[in-house]
Structure 1
Amino acid sequence: MGMPVKGLTVLYDAQCPLCVHLRQWLVGQRQLVPLTLVPAGSESARKRFPGLDHRATVEEITVIGDRGQIYRGPAAWIVCLWALADHRAKSHWLATPAGAPFVRVAMLSAAKYRDLTAQPCAERCEIPG
């Protein structure tokens, strides 16, 4: 049997108003699994995860488990909810085929809102090598 997840690092876009709001929301929740929130593409993120495609982490939420697990997009949102005391049961349901359409709509809505409110990724997503 695998080792339990003891911590998750959430890489979020610090230039996106929605991402910053969701970061604050996550920090305010009761966590069953500790979440460390780090700006995507930052020096801290690059030092912690040197092998990661940091440009991609700015474009799409990425969560890294303490054992090296990598979750992106919908799976990243679900694992964030799974880490929270008041949302774990909902995360289990969202991970099922019945919950998948809800995750898809939420992700599409968030992406649209982000497109309207965040500056374009073009220049700011150029992560130094």
Structure 2
Amino acid sequence: MRLTVLYDEDCGLCRRFKEWLSTQPLLVPVELVPAASAEARRRFPRLDHRRTLAEVTVVGDDGAVWTQEHAWVMCLWATASHRSLAERLARPRWRPAARAAAYSAAGLRTLTRDPTDPTGAPGEGGYCDPRAGTCDPNPQG
């Protein structure tokens, strides 16, 4: 199995997460690809690439797609040091904690955005805001 993580290249928090993930010892190979890039569109023509800018998206080599807290859990699951945490967070009892972490990350993205950047609208390189309905509560995967 191989995972591809699509991340917002224009988001400082996303870039830091990409850097962190790229330094982790992995149990599953991970490719980090900028969301909505030509490479991402070539590899995954059926994805909603506008949405991949609003939330971290993970794609398995079997075509499975994870978003929101599921994507974060899959990133942790791929690492040697954090797999056991990922397995806990994937359980129904712990899923609210994973969801809260994902929403917190989305909120941090909002707080760290350049206020003069006109692309702050959700889906336009903006952020995932569950209160505004920009996060699908029932992601695939």
Q: Is 1:25 aligned with 2:27?
A: no
Identify the match of residue 118 of structure 1 among 106, 113, 121: 113
Which consecutive residues of structure 1, in runs of 5 or more, have no partner in the other structure? 1-5
Q: Give the CA deviation at 1:104.
A: 2.1
Q: How do 1:17-56 residues align onto structure 2 when only pairs under 5 Å count?
A: 17-56=12-51
Give CA-to-partner distance per residue, 1:39-78, whole Å, 9 cap, x none: 0000110011111110010011110001111111111111
Q: Is 1:90 aligned with 2:94?
A: no
CA contact (8 A) 2:50 2:123 kept: no
CA contact (8 A) 2:54 2:123 kept: no
**Aligned AA for 2:21?**
L
Aligned length: 121
Residue 56 of structure 1 aligns to a residue in which SS?
Answer: helix
The whole-number CA distance in structure 1 between the counterparts of 2:17 and 2:6 is: 12
The CA RMSD over aligned residues, in Å, is: 1.7
Identity %: 48
Write 1 or 2 for the structure with the bigger share of helix. Answer: 1
Partner of 1:100: 95
Q: Give the CA deviation at 1:123.
A: 9.4
Partner of 2:136: none
Judging changes above 3 Å, is the alpha-carbon distance between structure 1 residues 97 and 123 closer, same or farther for their aligned structure 2 residues?
closer
CA contact (8 A) 2:68 2:99 kept: no
Give CA-to-partner distance per residue, 1:10-42, whole Å, 9 cap, x none: 000001110000000000000000100000000
Shift >6 Å, 4+ stretches: none
CA contact (8 A) 2:57 2:66 kept: yes
Q: Give the CA deviation at 1:96.
A: 1.1
Partner of 1:81: 76
